[in-house]
Amino acid sequence: MRWIIRILVTLISLIVLAVAGLFMIPTNKIARFAEGQFEKNTGRALSIAGDVSPQIFPRLGVKLEDVAISNAEWSGNGPMLEAASMEMGVGFSALMGGDIVVEAFDIQSPVIRLERSKDGLANWDFVTELGGGEDGGGSADVSLPLAQITNGSVEFADAQSGQSHVLTALDATVKLIDLKGAGRLEMSALYKGQAVKLAGTVNGVQQLLDGGVQGVDVTVSAGPNSVAFKGSAGLDPVQAKGAVTGAVTDHVSLFALMDQAAPRIPEGLGQEVNVSGDMTLTADNQMFLRGATINLDQNQLTGELDVALKDTPYVTARLQGDRLDFSAMSTDTTEGDGAANAGAGGWSDAQLDVSGLSGVDGEFSLKANEIDLGSIKLGRTDLGGALDRSRLVLDLANVGVFDGAVSGQFVVNGRGGLSVGGDLAASSVAMQQVLTDFAGFERLVGDASLSLKFLGVGNTMNEIMNGLKGSGRLDVGSGELLGLDIAGMIKNLDASYQGEGSKTVFDDITASFDIDGGVLSNTDLNFVAELLTATGGGALDLGGQTIKYRLAPVALASQLSGGIRVPVIIEGPWSNVRFRPDLKALIDADLEAEKEKLKAQAKAKEEELRVKAKAREAELRAKADAKLEDELGVVRQDGQSVEDALKEGLENKAKDALRNLLGGN
Reported as a single tens digit per residue, the pLDDT across 340-350 is 344 345 788 88
CA 355 to chain centre: 9
pLDDT score recorded for residue 605 = 75
Q: Which of 517, 569, 575, 576 is nearest to 548 (CA)?
A: 569
* DSSP-based three-state secondary structure for 40: helix
DSSP bridge partners of 325: 372
pLDDT score recorded for residue 345 = 56
CA 6 to chain centre: 52
For residues 94, 99, 101 and 107, what is the CA-based torsion angle, rounded to 10 degrees?
Answer: 130
> Percentage of the chain with pLDDT > 90?
32
Q: How confident is the model at residue 518 (pLDDT cuts 50, 70, 90)?
A: very high
Among 82-96, 343-357, 399-413, 542-556, the range with the most confident prediction by mean pLDDT is: 399-413
Q: How confident is the model at residue 614 (pLDDT cuts 50, 70, 90)?
A: confident
pLDDT score recorded for residue 113 = 94
Q: How far apart are alpha carbons 600 and 592 in whole angstroms?
A: 12
Mean pLDDT score, 6-24: 54
Which range (106-115, 277-286, 390-399, 483-492) has the least confidence? 483-492
pLDDT score recorded for residue 316 = 94
pLDDT score recorded for residue 564 = 66
Q: How far apart are alpha carbons 265 and 253 in whole angstroms?
A: 13
The secondary structure of 70-107, three-state, reads CCCCCCCCCCCEEEEEEEEEECHHHHHCCCEEEEEEEE
Cα dist from 610 to 55, 601, 613, 623, 639, whole Å: 145, 14, 5, 20, 21
Cα dist from 543 to 464, 474, 573, whole Å: 8, 20, 11
Model-level pTM? 0.65
Q: How far apart are alpha carbons 394 and 405 in whole angstroms?
A: 15
Mean pLDDT score, 448-460: 92
Mean pLDDT score, 178-194: 88
pLDDT score recorded for residue 262 = 78
Encoded amino acid at 614, one letter: K
Which range (148-157, 287-296, 486-495) has the least confidence? 486-495
DSSP bridge partners of 85: 65, 108
End-to-end CA distance of the chain: 161
Q: How confident is the model at residue 339 (pLDDT cuts 50, 70, 90)?
A: very low
Whether residue 138 is predicted with pLDDT greater than 50 in this model: the reply is no
Q: How confident is the model at residue 140 (pLDDT cuts 50, 70, 90)?
A: very low
Q: How confident is the model at residue 643 (pLDDT cuts 50, 70, 90)?
A: low
Residues 6+ apart with CB under 8 A from 532: 486, 487, 504, 506, 553, 554, 555, 556
Q: How confident is the model at residue 6 (pLDDT cuts 50, 70, 90)?
A: low
> Percentage of the chain with pLDDT > 70?
71
Mean pLDDT score, 235-251: 90
Q: How confident is the model at residue 187 (pLDDT cuts 50, 70, 90)?
A: very high
Whether residue 548 is predicted with pLDDT greater than 70 in this model: the reply is yes
pLDDT score recorded for residue 458 = 92
Whether residue 196 is predicted with pLDDT greater than 90 in this model: the reply is yes
| Helical residues (DSSP H) of 362-460, grouped into ranges | 431-439
CB 484 within 8 A of CB 498: no
CB atoms within 10 A of CB 166: 13
Whether residue 394 is predicted with pLDDT greater than 70 in this model: the reply is yes
As a whole number, the mean pLDDT across the chain is 79
Q: How confident is the model at residue 455 (pLDDT cuts 50, 70, 90)?
A: very high
Whether residue 411 is predicted with pLDDT greater than 60 in this model: the reply is yes
Q: Which helix (H) or strand (E) holds 600?
A: helix 583-632
Conformation bin of residue 449: beta by default, left when phi > 0, alpha when psi is -120 to 50: beta
